[in-house]
Amino acid sequence: MAIPDWLRRLRDRDVSAEDAALWTKCPSCGEMLYRKDLEANLSVCTKCNHHFRMSAYDRINTLVDGDFVEIGMEFLPGDPLGWVDKRSYPEKLEADRLKSNLTEAVVTGFATLDGFPVALGVMDFSFRGGTMGTVVGERITNLLEEARKRKLPCIVFTASGGARMEEGMLALMQMAKTTQAVERFMSDGNLFVTVLTDPTTGGVSASFAFQSDLIVGEARASIGFAGRRVIEQTLRQKLPDNFQTAEFLLEKGHIDMVVTRAELRATLVRLLDYAVDRKRVAPALKAVPEFAL
């Protein structure tokens, strides 16, 4: 039975801030999910299997064995274009810093996954839509260069709306910079794996996301070059629901596999096990001074 509007309004008003913090509504099936249950289930809806977007540090916590040694924190955003629209670019950065507890849209560092030492980069959509500006480009490049020095496999989780407008061409050039770092890293015989999470588009999709040895799509993630809205506006037609999903890309042959979040860690460990000699990479992390093994 449909709830009358007046009752719905009354009910919604009665949800206190405290309750709202405890409960999250699934945007896919509408189920109210107890936040602790949701977190315990890796931010996947317990009813419909909808994958919520994950923060970089939450993601890292679901993956690594113990310590995560972050690198690249010294690379912080500036304002190369002196960008101002409704707010200045530094104001937008500051707002996102407070909202996300991140200094930029990617977190990079070293860790072990089931004993495999890896260089790990995780992008976060909640900071400027995961867009790639100079700092994202710099941190990814730095991660690949540091991994290359130590002959470590590298795994990068992508989540990005594309290049960052407010850094203009300096942002676009990060595609060239990261590409060259990927190329050097892979030419040396190191394993590069990308995990494309929701959403992966534009400049990130058209550079390192699709340059790896193995490309894993997280279940139901939206992945593509042009944004859905751009295509719909250009063509003036509605796109099918499954267009640009990880499942669609798998069918078209663009990615190696689609994996649910629950299976992700175990899958990555298996992939590492196929391509990487555990004994050879084991001493590599000892070269990271902060890393306590």
Instruction: List contacts with another protein (CB under 8 A).
Output: 75-78, 80-81, 83-85, 134-135, 137-138, 141, 163-165, 167-177, 179-184, 187, 202-203, 205-211, 223-226, 230-231, 233-235, 239, 243-244, 252, 254
143 close to 121: Cβ distance less than 8 angstroms: yes
Residue closer to another protein by CB (options 229, 280) is: 229
Token pair, residue 53, equals: 């977007």
Q: Residue 52 or residue 185: which is nearer to another protein going by CB?
A: 185
- Residue 63 phi, psi dihedral angles, 5° rounding: -110, -45
Q: Which is nearer to another protein, 52 or 75 (CB)?
A: 75
C-beta of 60: minimal distance to another protein in Å? 22
Q: How far is the CB of 239 from another protein (least distance, A)?
A: 7
Contact call for residues 194 and 217 (beta carbons, < 8 A)? no
Write down the least CB distance from residue 182 to another protein, Å: 7
CB of 142 to another protein, least distance (A): 10
The residue (of 22 and 170) whose beta carbon lies closer to another protein is: 170
Which CB, 19 or 251, lies closer to another protein?
251
For the CB of residue 263, give the shortest distance to another protein in the complex, in Å: 24
Closer by beta carbon to another protein, 61 or else 233: 233
CB of 214 to another protein, least distance (A): 14
